[in-house]
Amino acid sequence: MKAIRIHAHGGIDQLRFEDAPDPKITSLRDVIVKLEAAALNHIDLWVRMGATGMKIPMPHILGADGAGVIVEVGNAVKSVRTGDKVCLYSFTGCGECEFCLSDRDFMCIRVRSLGERLDGTYAQYIKVLPENCFPVPSYMTFAEAAAFPLVFVTLWRMLVTNARLQANESLLIIGIGGGVASAALQVAKRIGARVIVTSGSDEKLERAKALGGEHGINHRRKNFAEEVQRLTDNRGVDVVLDSVAGEVWQKSLHSLAHGGRLVTCGATAGGEPNDDVNTMVSKELKIYGSTLGSREDFRQLLSFLDATQIHPIIDRKFPLNEARDAQERMEEARQFGKILLQISD
Ligand SMILES: NC(=O)c1ccc[n+]([C@@H]2O[C@H](COP(=O)([O-])OP(=O)(O)OC[C@H]3O[C@@H](n4cnc5c(N)ncnc54)[C@H](OP(=O)(O)O)[C@@H]3O)[C@@H](O)[C@H]2O)c1
Ligand SMILES: [Zn+2]
């Protein structure tokens, strides 16, 4: 099959479009999926650069998100069959620890994720387990079904499971162009929250407005914490979603109302930001670290998508052999929504 592989960690030139061995059924529980589309996530860049610190066998296929059709299953597989259209839940735990036994494989210290410890979705075929396969939502294309799993399950756990965003609350989303951020705007609007967004790009702020963002702040030109206080009559917002951190983290804290919650799933601009403990104490703020999501989060999300018929925002599609251009677009933060790799012709 054709795949995008890296043979060593490094820059974009490490991505090679080449022949790779077809995955084969080697256990009774294996499932082979012919992929139609894959989606990029920022984690792909960290894995390519070697920034996760994980030792992975080379050559390695990147990609955590994908959707396609099952073409072969092992003899013990009962829950899915050949011909099923599936999108992929990326995580497989050891199956034995307290986290795996309570449906939280993603917290397992031996977790293996597609595109990280396991070969990923930038390929024509992938081998997975049946519990990683979920039906493609009936109203979605394969590209949409590849675009939503990782970002939507992540933001579902952030906003719904952890921060418990309510219909009458206000939410500030930092860096709306990002995959997680733009999907969070779509979900928060359907929950009924009022949403303020920030971006480094006026064009992205306009697009966010069209999706229901009530106010947009260009964080390159304005101190967004001051602007949020102005927009909320010095009250602040109930929840901030900030996966950028770095120099914006303190402003995120200063944007919160008393009793507010800050929720984060990453640190694109730096993982050791300046905190402001006095503000955290005097305003009784709550900080939620959040990562990925459980199968139960994913099941809840699928029901929510079915009810709301949200279409994930697709920024641009590239053919598989142009993965370098696709990753470059993400590295330069030019996207609004998800960048896709189209795999089938
Ligand atoms: N733990 C998890 O479960 C999980 C899952 C998915 C993602 N993540 C993490 O979440 C973060 C976002 O992921 P993603 O895939 O959505 O990434 P992405 O699509 O590359 O989004 C990054 C966005 O962040 C904004 N940004 C970047 N640098 C900034 C800076 N210095 N100041 C202000 N804004 C900045 C930009 O928004 P504008 O273009 O609008 O300015 C950019 O588009 C990453 O750190 C990723 O590793 C974690
Ligand atoms: Zn485990």
Question: Following DSSP, what letter does each residue of 46-65 receive, concatenated?
Answer: HHHHTTT-----SSEE--SE
Protein residue with least CA distance to atom 24, ligand 1: 175
Per-residue pLDDT, averaged over 201-218, amounts to: 96
The Cα 46–Cα 52 span in angstroms is 6
* Residue 317 predicted with pLDDT over 90: yes
Per-residue pLDDT, averaged over 143-152, amounts to: 97
Q: How far, in Å, is the centroid of ligand 2 from the Cα of 99?
A: 6
Terminal alpha carbon distance of the chain: 14
Asked if 304 contacts 145 with a C-beta cutoff of 8 angstroms, the reply is no
Give 204's pLDDT tier (boundaries 50, 70, 90).
very high
Q: Which ligand is nearest to the CA of 242?
A: 1
Q: Which of 14, 86, 89 is nearest to 44 (CA)?
A: 14
Q: Which of 116, 118, 87, 89 is nearest to 103 (CA)?
A: 89
* Residue 342 predicted with pLDDT over 80: yes
pTM of the shown model = 0.94
Asked if 148 contacts 183 with a C-beta cutoff of 8 angstroms, the reply is yes
Per-residue pLDDT, averaged over 191-202, amounts to: 97
Please count the residues of the chain.
345
Tell me the percentage of the chain whose pLDDT exceeds 70: 100
Give pLDDT, residue 344.
84
What's the pLDDT tens digit per position in 285-295? 999 999 999 99
The Cα 35–Cα 20 span in angstroms is 14
- Mean pLDDT estimate for the chain: 96
Asked if 114 contacts 88 with a C-beta cutoff of 8 angstroms, the reply is yes
Q: How far, in Å, is the centroid of ligand 2 from the Cα of 276?
A: 35
Phi and psi at 305, nearest 5°, equal: -65, -40
Q: Which ligand is nearest to the CA of 111?
A: 2
3-class secondary structure, 338: strand
Query: 215-218 and 194-199 as β-strands: parallel, antiparallel, unpaired?
Result: parallel
Give pLDDT, residue 179.
86
| Helices marked H in 31-171 | 42-49, 98-101, 142-147, 149-156
Tell me 246's DSSP state: G
Give pLDDT, residue 273.
86
The Cα 242–Cα 272 span in angstroms is 14
Q: How far, in Å, is the centroid of ligand 2 from the Cα of 54?
A: 17
Give pLDDT, residue 345.
66
* Residue 5 predicted with pLDDT over 70: yes
Give 192's pLDDT tier (boundaries 50, 70, 90).
very high
157 within ligand 1 shell (Cβ under 6 A)? no
Q: How far, in Å, is the centroid of ligand 1 from the Cα of 184?
A: 12
User: In terms of pLDDT, which residue wins out, 172 or 178?
Assistant: 172
Q: Which of 141, 40, 266, 199 is nearest to 185 (CA)?
A: 199
What's the pLDDT tens digit per position in 91-108? 999 999 999 999 899 999
State both tokens at 288: 């939620």
Give pLDDT, residue 181.
95
Asked if 49 contacts 331 with a C-beta cutoff of 8 angstroms, the reply is no
Give pLDDT, residue 7.
98
Task: Give the DSSP H or E segment for 11.
Answer: none
Closest atom of ligand 1 to 40 CA is 15
Which amino acid type is present at position 55?
A: K
Asked if 324 contacts 15 with a C-beta cutoff of 8 angstroms, the reply is yes
The Cα 10–Cα 69 span in angstroms is 32
Beta strands in 203-268 (DSSP E): 215-218, 237-241, 256-264
State both tokens at 284: 């009784």
333 within ligand 1 shell (Cβ under 6 A)? yes
Phi and psi at 81, nearest 5°, equal: -145, 170
